[in-house]
Amino acid sequence: MNQQKINRNFKILRDKSGLTQQEVANYLDIERANISYYETGRRDIPMKHLEKLSDLFGVTLNMFFREDASQLQTDLAFAFRNNNIDSKTLDVLADFKKIVKNYLRMKKLEKRYDKKL
């Protein structure tokens, strides 16, 4: 697994979502410095954080492993930009994005199933 790719994609997704390092740190309940370490590659992002981040950004987990960073922008379900979002609001947004992400996944599966019929 290429950790640099994961860290790069994390930063891109965070930037595209319009979230500060502090907002993401609050959401993950970690120190802001850890977010900086993740983005610069000084630390690996734990899988439990990647799973939460995939919900927050409204993307599938495999988005963090993408080779081509240009795909990240087109694959974002949506970005919610606002200044000074508190962690409770981020939790609600992440839950909503998780629902959207799962709905889109179900629609893909439905299309595959319909093609087989």
pLDDT, residue 51, reads 93
Q: How far is CA 117 from each of CA 54, 106, 110, 113, rounded to the nearest angstrom?
A: 32, 17, 11, 7
Angstrom CA distances, 86 to 6, 8, 40, 61, 73, stand at: 25, 25, 24, 24, 24
Q: What are the b/e assignments for 62-77, b being 16+ CB within 10 Å?
A: ebbebeeeeebeeebe
Each residue's pLDDT expressed in tens, for the chain with a length of 117 residues? 588 999 999 999 999 888 999 999 999 999 999 999 999 999 999 999 999 999 898 888 888 998 877 666 545 545 555 556 777 887 888 888 888 877 877 888 888 777 776
Q: Kindly report the pTM of this predicted structure.
A: 0.70
- What domains are defined for the chain? 3-116 (1.10.260.40)
